[in-house]
Structure formats: structure tokens, C-alpha cells
Structure 1
Amino acid sequence: MLRTRSAVRPVSRDERDEALALCARDVAANVFVAARVIEGAIDSRYGTLLGHRRDGVLDSLCWASANVVPVATDTESTAAFAERIRKWRGRCASILGPKDLVTSLWAALEPVWSPARAIRTDQPLMGTTTPPSALGIPVDTRVRLARPDEVDLVLPAAAHMFTREIGYPPFTGSSRGYRAALQALIERGHTYVVVEGGRVVFKADIGSVALGCAQVQGVWLAPDLRGRGLAVPAMAAVVELVMNDLAPWVTLYVNDFNAAARATYHRIGMRDIGVFSTVLL
């Protein structure tokens, strides 16, 4: 019996433009994967980005590392990706992306990977191309890029945000690895902060930038300062700075149950443009 070649295989550097063109069909939904491609992941981490071909055409992708992120998948490619990565449970911490794609992929992997620690089924994907100041929203002028020598100021804020969001701390024992990840964000100019009284009281990171789109993540305001109307001008400042420095289209996704955050993002002009889901493993 002849063995047929799998429709799924790692994306090569020669397929970079094809992969980016596929992501560009829905940039806001696919900016995470597009950013990894642009950053050179295909060159340095062969096998992390998988592609599915139909009749010789690249029709879907799946980023499979600590995060599993599907792009433009359908029934056929979802089943093929699930078969390829089902033995990788130990290396994956989450599945995230457009709700329909994540739901289908999790249905294929759940019998092998179950149970999930949590499933965030409905996470509004929001975005804007309008500077908040153009809408009359006040901008907090204290917001600025974090400096490389401020990583130890940023770390407590980042760790608190991560723990509250994910449900467990970002490190146990040594903080070296987590600190290095924060340092990398800061050095790339992807962390915005307000520092007052020798501490970070507000921060937001840019997790992905590609194809004219930037995705905000890790938004945090010190608990003792919440409820004072500080979040709106701080986020407005982040959006303005990102538009000026990184990309004209600013997006993020947020848990549907986080009413305060959703209200803040709507106030600065963001609108719902899709729905994400995240499966925490």
C-alpha cells in the first residue's frame, strides 16, 4: 500500500509570503501568528508554525507552541492539525483565537487533552483606528514607554496581572525566565507604564504587531487606584502612542465578564469586531 503524504507540514521560510497573505485576510484575528512570522519564527523555530495545503494551496495555519493558535481552519484542516499536535499536550498552555476555530479544535483535542483548567468561551475582540483625542477623550500624559532599567518595577505589576487573569503565578522559585520575557518586551518598546511614588501604577503591553495592526495585552491598574476614573485616560494614551509609533489599527480581546474593562475600551472608541475564545490547559 502506498502511503499518502500528510496535508500538514511545517511552514518553511520560502512560504513566508503565503503565510502572511493568509493572515492578512483577517488581520485583527490573525495578528498574533502574523507577528511571529515577521519576527522570524519560521527561520528559528522550524516546526512551530504548521500549514495545511489543499490542492497545493496553503489554506490554513496553526501556531503550535506554548500557545496553539489556528488561522483560517475548516473541518478538514482542524482534524489534520489535531492529529498532528495531539501528542504535544505537555508543551501547550492554551488554545486561543477566533471562537469558532478554537471551539472546533478543542472538540478534536479534548478527548486526549482534557480536562481544561478553564474555558473563556466569549472574549470580545475589539479595535479602533481613531485616536481617542479625536473623540474628545482626555489622554494621560504620564503614560510612557518603560525604560530597560525599570524591569524590576514592572515585574510586580505584571506578575499580579498574570496571576489574577490566569489563576496561577507566572513563576515559582526564580523569576529569571519571567523577568527576561518582560525585559524583552521593554527593550522592544512594547511596554507602556505610569510610574508614581517609585512603583508602576499602570501598565499595558503590545503583544503582537504586524500588517498595520497592534494587539494590546496585559493591561493593569493598581488595585488601590481603581474606581477613580484613571483607566480611560491611561488607555487612551496607550492607543495614541501605539498609533503614532507602531500601527494605525489597535486591537485587544477581553473577557466578556470583565464589564469594567469593556466599558473602558468602549469609552476610548474601541468597537467589537469579533469574538475570541481561550482554552487554558
Structure 2
Amino acid sequence: MLKLLGDRPLGARDAPVVERVLTSDPVAMCMVAARFESHGINPRLLGGELWTTDDPTSSLCFSGANLIPLLGSPGDMEGFADRASSAPRVCSSIVGRAEMVLPFWERIAPCWGPAREIRDSQPLMALTDAPAVAPDPLVRLVTLEDLDAYLPAAIDMFIGEVGVDPCAGDGGRSYRRRLASLITAQRVFARFDRGEVVFKAEIGSLSRKVGQIQGVWVAPDRRGEGFGARGTAAVAAAIIAHGRIPSLYVNSFNHTARAVYRQVGFSEVGTFATVLVD
């Protein structure tokens, strides 16, 4: 019987258990841990529900704009899929450790499929020491005054990575607000050259233990000049300076990016998978 964490008032007995689970695998669970640490377990504030098939110490799943299986056996993934299929879909992607995402998708595909894209092998990487590459001293925090100059690079990266235009639908107002929020939180970095972005990256999720880097991009006409490695090293160094582990995940077919991250000193600590659904 599937029990829903969030369909009843959650007190002190629930939150510490969930917190222990989220800290047991801090790199892989960073996206949910960051939300939980900021907003607690209330679904409205958390931005989604936490599910378990029995006990959160053995099975846990986050269901929001992203559906993120966090812990459990293939049988638990089937249970989560059955729960997800019982209501209208709210997520646009399923992401997490491949050994959980893929069984979940196999179960729910007849209901939610076909997928727009399945990325079944995404190395999950972490940096446990200082960057092996000297950080670019010209990479800096982006300010709100930079937003107009930053936006074209962010849109180009998003289309290339996700395959959809973030400006579709509302002319980019929602995407602009999201970037402005990240900038205000001091989680957006870039190197500018004559007012244009040469390198960019963001800290997409920031928990107490981990900073997850996303949106790494180098201007097409400046690739091959080392901006990716030195820029990523600068962002990683900023995360380390705040006492956290830099992490990221990358598509297995992106050999150039994987080589850059290895050059910086990142090593593989697992494999993610992402299923993009329409």
C-alpha cells in the first residue's frame, strides 16, 4: 500500500527521517535536499510531494516539476509509477540515479509515453579536492544589470541542452524571472568580453553539502580556447569556498564536456538518467 508523505500533517517524527535519507547520498540527492533544507516538508512550500511505498529510510521519491526517485528497489519504482499514473502528470522530466529512473520509466511509459528524449547514461561527477585547473579570474557573479546581456547566452544553452525554447508561451517572462532569482541568490557566473558572454554557468541546486553546477556554456566562436575548463574551475572554487562539494551531471555522448570536467578534476560517482516527457 503506497503511503504518501504529505497527505497528513508531518511533525518532528517525519522530517528528521527524511533529512537523514537526503544526507545519506548528498551528491545524487542535492536537488531535493536543497528544497527540503530551505522549505521543509510541506508540499506547498517544497514545490512537490514526497512519497514512500513503506518507510522513507528504504523508499523515497519526490514528485513536482521534476519527478526524482531518490531511494528504493525496482519494486518500489513500480509502486511510485502506479501512484504517479493515478493522477494527471505534473512533471516535465524524470531525473535521478539511472538504476531507479529507468525502471520507473519502464513501468509508466505505457501511460506517459512516448518520451520526447531518453538520456539513459549521464555520468554524475563530483570534485573532492581543489580544481586541477587554475580558475579564470575574470569569471564573476552576474548582476541584475547584466541580465539583458546574459539572457541570449542562457537561451542558446537551454535550447541546445533541453531542445525547447524557454521563451515559448509567455515570451520568456517566466524564464527571465527564474534567471533573475538565481542572480539575486548569487548563483550565476559568467565571463564577459566587450559586453558579451564568453562563458557562463549556474549553480542550479545548492544544499548544505553540495552545489550542483548546470548550464555550462562557451560562446561558439570562442570554443577551444580553454574558457570551459577555467570557467568551470572558477565556479567550482566558489562552491568549495563556501564549504560545499561541486557536482554536476553530463550526457555520456558529450565527450568534449566530459574531458573538460575531468581536466578540472571531477570524477564519476554514479550515473544519472533523464527522461524528457511532453
Structure 1 length-normalised TM: 0.90
Confirm whether residue 158 of structure 1 aligns to residue 154 of structure 2. yes
Rounded to whole Å, the distance in 2 between the matches of 1:46 and 1:34 is: 10
CA contact (8 A) 2:17 2:56 kept: no
> How far off is 1:149 after superposition?
2.0
CA contact (8 A) 1:128 1:271 kept: yes
Among 255, 262, 265, which residue is 1:266 paired with?
262
Rounded to whole Å, the distance in 2 between the matches of 1:46 and 1:206 is: 19
CA contact (8 A) 2:74 2:100 kept: no
> How far off is 1:210 after superposition?
1.5
Counterpart in the other structure of 1:240: 237
Counterpart in the other structure of 1:64: 63
Confirm whether residue 147 of structure 1 aligns to residue 146 of structure 2. no
> How far off is 1:53 after superposition?
5.2
Rounded to whole Å, the distance in 2 between the matches of 1:47 and 1:100 is: 24
1:233 maps to a residue whose letter is R
CA contact (8 A) 1:10 1:47 kept: no
CA contact (8 A) 1:207 1:217 kept: yes
> How far off is 1:88 after superposition?
4.8
Rounded to whole Å, the distance in 2 between the matches of 1:208 and 1:13 is: 25
CA gap 1:121/1:36 in 2 versus in 1, 3 angstroms? same
Q: Percent identity?
A: 35
Counterpart in the other structure of 2:96: 97
Taking the TM superposition and a 5 Å limit, the aligned residue runs for 1:1-281 are 6-10=2-6, 12=10, 14=12, 15-40=14-39, 42-43=41-42, 44-45=44-45, 48-52=48-52, 54=54, 58-88=57-87, 90-132=89-131, 135=132, 137-172=133-168, 173-245=170-242, 247-281=243-277
Rounded to whole Å, the distance in 2 between the matches of 1:202 and 1:47 is: 31
**How many equivalent pairs are there?**
272
> How far off is 1:57 after superposition?
5.5
Rounded to whole Å, the distance in 2 between the matches of 1:13 and 1:143 is: 43
2:220 maps to a residue whose letter is P
CA RMSD of aligned residues (A): 1.9
SS at match of 1:272: strand
For structure 1, list consecutive stretches of 5 or more residues without a partner in the other structure: none
Rounded to whole Å, the distance in 1 between the matches of 2:203 and 2:181 is: 12
